[in-house]
Structure 1
């Protein structure tokens, strides 16, 4: 006769969960020092759950926690459709392909909970059983739960690395007051490999599974203010997230799984044309991007990043659209970023674009946007000097 745990594992496979494990709900004492240090050093993104004690002690948010059931779903890493070369396009990191993973994971977690409830031996037992499902918006540190539950180990890049799927997995968990036999944690498996640390363009990875989130390009693509200049060229044409530390990982080579239809990417959503994004309405934004996890911060960060991407790609054909942003957009971040892009793209006709920027600067009231316009003018003036020296030779 199957145990309840064995029945849950069998059901998890039936409903489309790729990995499942059972962890003790004992406090995560091993995280305490590092979580406090991360905060003290200013390395947090601000997107994390803010009460550190609730991240360490499950009993702070759940009465009598006994077990945490951890799940993982593998997501695709390659497009089955060809990406058109019709015009310059941006891209979303792979974790934002398909329908928002929060919705997919919640669906699987809820289905699993409903199944477990049907296995109660009495109404009284069913009423006594309690469950708290959560994805990465909850209190617990997903990768720590998943490692304790035997799904994989935490790599040097801070991501969970599984044997079967590498780090291309979404994670979720259920805290419950049901006691289960727990699984063995997976030991650290990176050995001496530091490829992710070396490859990170901003040196955000600390090499021990932690990172300075403020320096992470994924974080930078999600901020709403002016992106610091040191990160702008480094995002290349990526308008949401960053895959670099995953793509160089030996555990991820050759990994590409298409188990879940709702995770399949649409070309125009995850490799969008950049120029049309600049004038996208709120309705248009929701239609094109609203189903993606990468839409959670709204339209402004993605439009800012699209302007940066056009500059990085050297798309001078986009100058009229970018100028329109600098002239008419009500958001200072967009005006300032557009001015920066003009400073990079207008170097073939510097006099023309200096004149446009000087007109914009004369009426600009926002100090950050004005600064970007001043710097763009200086950039073009330098380009003009170089052009004249070249013409004089």
Structure 2
């Protein structure tokens, strides 16, 4: 069998296992990406979640000796929820980003990639392969761009002509020398909507992101959220979709192809107050299968507290006061104190004062003082 035939067979097979788009790229070093990554590093724009060794990120040959091809796959996910629950005054709700709506995409893509690896190994047993999704060394987006899956948008997402940017990406590095596909020309043109709409100014310019300002990154951090970003968070619990929502290429794009990606609305858009008292076990049982749970419950609970402050939800005060007095985690106590200040009045001023006198943690004391100032400024 020729390599061209094998490629055609693999493309046909990929459709039968639920791959929406497949592309082939050479495994040559990503030299342009290397330059970009070095600049990002110099500017301090990296999030810290990336592979620290830049050479591994740009040299596929360091991952598989004799690597010749990278096979990129894309799976489309939904952008709209069927019958989404309303966030009401009685029951305020938070939101998980669309990429965390269904089953954890790492698991979904790994299943597909494993089948592709097995398909290739069965036909060419001497070939070597390795696959990865998101947390691997390579840049999924750089691979997808080179493989003709889509172009790299100004919002730093891969934009496909068929599905917009609502796609999950993964890749297989192989020693099989497939004919590479042609990259798609960048089509953002003069459009700058994503850069203009970014809530925190994290998109410095088209294609350049300061990860440390990005709400998607900030929602995953575990410490106190810096003051300047709290009001920007809104009711986001995990991730941010703003730069995708404003993109004209995503207009009308909503695909419900894969049942495992369908959101459970009570998980994707959960009630905020019940989140605050969940045990670890309850959190794992309810949210453990979605990608947004990977950092555990603390960041989600911190974000839920900030969301309740955003809504000025007075019904949350009893549980926030309880967290301030009893929660063992300084970040939760302190964020609760700040939120009490955002929501409360003179009655809560006394509660915060008493808590300040009893508090041993300096960071929490500072947050209590912020809460006290917020109440004082209202009166």
Q: Tell me how far 1:366 sits from its aligned partner.
A: 1.4
Aligned partner of 1:254 in structure 2 is 252
Once the two structures are TM-superposed, the CA of residue 81 in structure 1 deviates from its matched residue by 2.8
Alignment of 1:1-393 (within 5 A): 3-84=5-86, 85=88, 87-120=91-124, 126=125, 128-346=126-344, 350-384=345-379
Q: How many angstroms apart in 1 are the aligned matches of 2:164 and 2:330?
A: 41
Instruction: Indicate the larger mover: 208-217 or 248-257.
Output: 208-217
Deviation at 1:291, TM superposition (A): 0.5
State the secondary structure of the residue aligned to 2:205: coil
TM-fit CA distance, 1:102: 0.1
Structure 1: runs of 5 or more not aligned = 121-125, 385-393
Superposed displacement of residue 116, structure 1? 2.0
Number of residues paired by the alignment? 375
The structure with the larger Rg is 1
Q: Distance in 1 between matches of 2:347 and 2:320?
A: 14
Q: Following the alignment from structure 2 to structure 1, what is the Cα–Cα distance between the partners of residues 65 and 361? A: 50
TM-score (norm. length: structure 1): 0.94
Q: CA deviation at 1:62?
A: 1.6
User: 2 CA distance for matches of 1:230 and 1:206?
Assistant: 17
More off after superposition, 251-260 vs 373-382: 373-382
Q: Aligned-pair distance for 1:31? A: 1.0
Following TM superposition, by how much is the alpha carbon of 1:112 offset from its aligned partner in structure 2, in angstroms?
A: 1.4
Structure-1 separation of matches of 2:8 and 2:325: 63
Distance 2:116 2:11 in 1: 10
Partner of 1:389: none
In the TM superposition, residue 316 of structure 1 has moved relative to its aligned partner by 0.7
Distance in 2 (CA, whole Å) between partners of 1:334 and 1:322 is 9
Using the TM superposition, give the Cα deviation of residue 207 of structure 1 relative to its aligned residue in structure 2, in angstroms: 2.1
Matches of 1:351 and 1:196 in 2, distance apart?
41
Distance of 1:95 and 1:376 partners within structure 2: 34
TM, length-normalised to structure 2: 0.97
Greater than 4 Å deviation, 4+ residue runs: none
RMSD between aligned alpha carbons?
Answer: 1.1
Deviation sequence 1:57-95 (CA, Å, 0-9, x none):
111222011000000000001111331446111010000
